[in-house]
Amino acid sequence: MAREVVKLAKCSLMLMALGCFEVAGAGTLRFSVTESWSMPLGRFVQGRLVEGIMFDLMQAIAQNAGSKPEFVVLPRKRIDAAFQQNLADVRCYVSRNWVAKPDSYLWSGPLFSNEDLIVSFQQRKPVPTLSSFNGAHVGTVLGYVYPPLDEAFASGALVRDDAADELTAARKAKYGRTDLVIMHRLMMDWLRKVEPLPAITIIYPVQRFDVECGVSKRSQLDPLQVQGAIESLRRSGEIERILQRYR
């Protein structure tokens, strides 16, 4: 009889422990991140996101939502599928126009703007039209799409040279391995700030875009709660303060 009581007590303790883990897990907000990001968006160490605009933003969103952030590292091309499989709750630095099923998310609306630019590390004059490039090799990121440049790529006016991430693409252009590189303005400003670089010349403005966060309607946390946490950050000016740290 005593042995049975001990067994029951042990089982009760195990169930209580499991219950604690379930409560802790329920307070986790899973963000999709991709290693194709480079600073100032994000820096990865041994496959873990450790700093950058997106790191700070996601930490702030989770804190505002009363949860802890978990960063789910995914190849860019697998992010849509991961959300369809309910492997993540929130994706940021995205536009609803870029995703496969935008109706599967609650959207934050624009949080900040960025701009894709074709730039050169060499002395080169800006061009008025894409046809002026005449077969130039341009650094791009594997899996990224640049709709305004589709025709130029198809005609051969520009030739893609894919790299694993934005910083690698930029360095290939810096050392003359490509003629040009597509770089967003936040990154260009960051590189000018932290690295000794030759002058970066804007050759052609590709597109300006607004980025937002999408909260999966199947999120582990209440999607409306998470959406409200993001809106609160925007109204408070915290998102702009995060951006200013990297400018």
197 located within any domain: yes
Q: What is the CATH number of the domain that holds 232?
A: 3.40.190.10
For 15-47, the pLDDT digits (tens) are 333 333 333 344 899 999 998 899 999 999 999
- Let me know whether 58 and 98 are in one domain: yes
- Let me know whether 57 and 80 are in one domain: yes
- Let me know whether 149 and 187 are in one domain: yes
b/e code 192-230 from CB counts within 10 Å (16+ = b): eeeeeeeebbebbebeeeebbbbbbeebbbebeebbebb
Number of domains in the chain: 2
Q: Read off the pLDDT band of 233 (50, 70, 90).
A: very high
Q: What is the domain extent for residue 34?
A: 28-112+210-244
What was the pLDDT predicted at 212? 97
For 79-93, the pLDDT digits (tens) are 999 999 999 999 999
What was the pLDDT predicted at 198? 67
- Let me know whether 119 and 85 are in one domain: no
For 95-136, the pLDDT digits (tens) are 998 898 999 999 999 999 999 999 999 888 899 999 899 899
11 located within any domain: no
Mean pLDDT, range 136-145, rounded to an integer: 92
6 located within any domain: no
- Let me know whether 99 and 165 are in one domain: no
5 located within any domain: no
- Let me know whether 175 and 149 are in one domain: yes
